Every structure is written in C-alpha cells, then in structure tokens.
Chains A and B, each alone.
Chain A
Amino acid sequence: MHRFANPARFLRLAKPLTPALFWPGLVLALGACLWGLFATPTERLMGDTVKIMFVHVPSAWLGMGGWTGIAIASIVQLVWRHPLAGIAARAIAVPGATFAAICLLTGSIWGRPTWGTWWVWDGRLTSMLVLFFLYLGYIALTNASSEKGDTSRVAAVFGIIGAVNIPIINRSVIWWESQHQKASITLGGSSINEAYLVPLFVAVAGFSLLFGALVLMRMRAALAEMRIEARMRRMAES
C-alpha cells in the first residue's frame, strides 16, 4: 500500500487509469440506462416506474459505497498515516454526496406513483437523508481545514463515526416497518427477475467505474493544487 504513498508514483498509475475507468463506465452506464428504459418489460405491480430502478439502485449503492470508502481511507489515514488516504477520502465526498442526493430524489419521484406520496419518514428514507447530511458535514469540515493536502484528523474521525449509519441504512427495512421494499438482492440470491437483474448489474458496474474515474480526477486536482501551493511558497520565500 505504501508503494503508492509517493504522489509521483500514484500519478503515473492514475493518469492512464482515469480514462480507462471513465470511458467503459460511461458506455456501460449509458447502455444499461437505454437497455432498462427500452428493452425491459413492464412490471406487474409497479408498471413502467420499475425502470427508475436502473438509476435509483446504482446511486444508492454509490452513496453508501462512497461513505464506506471515506471510512476506510480515514482509517488508513489515521492508522498508517498514508499521505494519499486523506486526499482520497476528500475526493470521494462530493461524488458520494451527489449520488446520495440522486438516490433521494429518484426515490422520491418513484414513491409518488407507487406509494402515493413523495416522502415518508420511515427508517430507510430517513437514514439515507442522514447520510446525505453527513456528506455535507464532512465536505464543510474538510473545506474548513486550511491545508488542502493535509486533511484534518477531525474529518477522518468524523468519516469513521459516520460509517455507523451504513449498516443502519442496510438493515432499516428489517428493523422497522417501512414503505420501502425489503432487500431484493442478498448474499443468498435475488428475488428480481433476470430481465431486470442483468441490466441492473450492468448499470451498477458502469456507474461504479464512472465513480472511480471521478475520484481519480479529484485526487489529481488535489495533488496539482498541492504542487501549486508548494511552488508559490518557494517563490514567495526566494
């Protein structure tokens, strides 16, 4: 892991990896959306609104996966003092928050025709809203730290504590009465018909690759800003 502690070595890997993740991700995500929109059958109970699943589920996965990534990077930052871990956590925050917001909005849009309401304060929806606010808090906290590259330990601790919400979101439909359906995909199998399941997996894979590319872009920007700051400091001193 410490092989990539050197920013120059990391950039040598990140520069070719960014387009290698971005373009396949874009093709898969777009393809899966078109597949889901035009080539999947109408569902018996939800009708055509089931097609919203192809954007709602990947955004939920990335909203939760993003915070899991922040928590892991924060642990690496605090325990091993890896210089890129804080930068990685910081780079995940905005894409994670955006996908959490997309999940909430698309879920609300899906809820209106299927549940008859835009919003209910049940466990799943409320815990996902809490995740979105945690992202906003994390972004505010990291922006407040003066040194761009050296993210504060407070933000890292916040990232780890906030991860408590991830299993709560996952188990919320089991622990509490919920309008939201129970988990359709578990380690034991799936209750989703193959006609929906295959494009759904393609969508999740595509959006995940895009997410990876976005995080790399933001990490590269942060590293470039660190180089600019260091150069400006040297110029001011000489």
Chain B
Amino acid sequence: MPHLPFIIAAFAVTGVGVIWLVVSSYVGMRRSEALADDLRQQP
C-alpha cells in the first residue's frame, strides 16, 4: 500500500483545520474590536 496519499491527507486535514481556526478567530476578533471602537467614538 503506498503511504504518500495517507501522509498528504493527514497534513492536508491539519492544514485546513488550522487555517480555518486562524482565519475565523482573526476575522472574529478584528470585526468585534472594530465595531466596539466605532461605537465608543459615537456621541
């Protein structure tokens, strides 16, 4: 049984999971902090 497809699949699963986590966490943080700052500046 060739091992390469299994290795690629394992690293791809990890890559997709980590990228999703990073993007969702970063976008969520930036969006919330920007909205909070905008509201604070409103009179």
Q: Which residues of A contact B (CB under 8 A)?
A: 29, 33, 37, 47-49, 51-52, 55-56, 59, 94-95, 98-99, 101-102, 105-106, 109-110, 112-113, 210, 214, 217-218, 220-222, 224-225, 227-228, 231-232, 235
Rounded to whole Å, the gap between the CB of B2 and the closest CB of chain A is 8
Give the interface size bracket for B toward A: 20 to 34
Contact B17 A221 (CB under 8 A): no
Residues of B within 8 A of A232 (CB): 39
The docked-state distance in angstroms from the alpha carbon of A210 to that of B13 is 17
Residues of A within 8 A of B1 (CB): 113
Residues of B within 8 A of A109 (CB): 6, 9-10, 13
Residue in A closest to B25 when the chains form the complex, CB atoms = A217
Residues of B within 8 A of A99 (CB): 17
Rounded to whole Å, the gap between the CB of A116 and the closest CB of chain B is 9
- Sampled A-B contacts (25; CB under 8 Å): A48-B3, A48-B7, A49-B3, A49-B6, A49-B7, A52-B7, A52-B10, A55-B11, A59-B14, A95-B25, A98-B20, A102-B14, A106-B10, A113-B6, A210-B18, A214-B25, A218-B25, A220-B32, A221-B29, A221-B33, A224-B29, A227-B40, A228-B36, A228-B39, A232-B39
**Max count, chain A CB within 10 A of own CB: residue among B10, B35, B40:** B10
Residue in A closest to B28 when the chains form the complex, CB atoms = A221
Residues of B within 8 A of A33 (CB): 11, 14
**Max count, chain A CB within 10 A of own CB: residue among B6, B17, B24:** B6
Contact A110 B6 (CB under 8 A): yes
Residue in B closest to A58 when the chains form the complex, CB atoms = B14
Contact A231 B29 (CB under 8 A): no
Residue in B closest to A15 when the chains form the complex, CB atoms = B33
Contact A228 B32 (CB under 8 A): yes
Residues of B within 8 A of A218 (CB): 25, 28-29
Contacts A33-B11, A49-B6 given; does A228 touch B26 at CB 8 Å: no
Q: A33-B14, A49-B3 are in contact. List 8 more A-B contacts (CB 8 A).
A: A55-B11, A105-B13, A109-B9, A112-B6, A113-B3, A224-B29, A228-B36, A231-B39
The docked-state distance in angstroms from the alpha carbon of A125 to that of B25 is 28
Contacts A214-B25, A224-B29 given; does A102 touch B17 at CB 8 Å: yes
Contact A37 B13 (CB under 8 A): no
Contact B21 A94 (CB under 8 A): yes
Rounded to whole Å, the gap between the CB of A104 and the closest CB of chain B is 10
